Amino acid sequence: LAKTTQPISMDSYEGQEVNITCSHNNIATNDYITWYQQFPSQGPRFIIQGYKTKVTNEVASLFIPADRKSSTLSLPRVSLSDTAVYYCLVGDPGSSNTGKLIFGQGTTLQVKP
């Protein structure tokens, strides 16, 4: 059972900033938050990972409030090629007894011209 909840779908237009919020009310102290992107007929691709506050890389930003019960993936100035499914996952990188990533249904982002 996925430990996260996110919208099933979102629409946007080219050039806009897109924010996808994920709820993880039962996040554990040692859990990190990770986002993956999946294009049709491809495996998921890692986008970003964070624990608290804000993380930014060349692709996206991840905002995590102090209570860590939610997180927001921010994609600046999306293009048509950003149309994909985005998955939010939580897990403990230090866990030694399981490595499974638990995916929910993800958010299907459709970018329109």
Partner 1 sequence: GAGVSQTPSNKVTEKGKYVELRCDPISGHTALYWYRQSLGQGPEFLIYFQGTGAADDSGLPNDRFFAVRPEGSVSTLKIQRTERGDSAVYLCASSSYLHTEAFFGQGTRLTVV
For the bound state, the minimum distance from the C-beta of residue 33 to partner 1, rounded and expressed in Å, comes to 11
Q: Which is nearer to partner 1, 29 or 98 (CB)?
A: 98
Between 16 and 61, CB nearer to partner 1: 61
Residues that bind partner 1 (CB under 8 A): 2, 32, 34, 41-46, 49, 85, 87, 91-106
Nearer to partner 1 (CB atom), residue 34 or residue 70: 34
CB of 16 to partner 1, least distance (A): 25
**Going by C-beta distance under 8 Å and a sequence separation of 6 or more, which residues neighbour residue 110?**
9, 10, 11, 12, 83
Sheet with 53-56: list strands edge to edge: 18-23, 70-75, 61-64, 53-56
Give every CB contact of residue 92 below 8 A, 6+ residues apart in sequence. Answer: 28, 30, 31, 32
- Minimum CB distance to partner 1, residue 91 (Å): 5
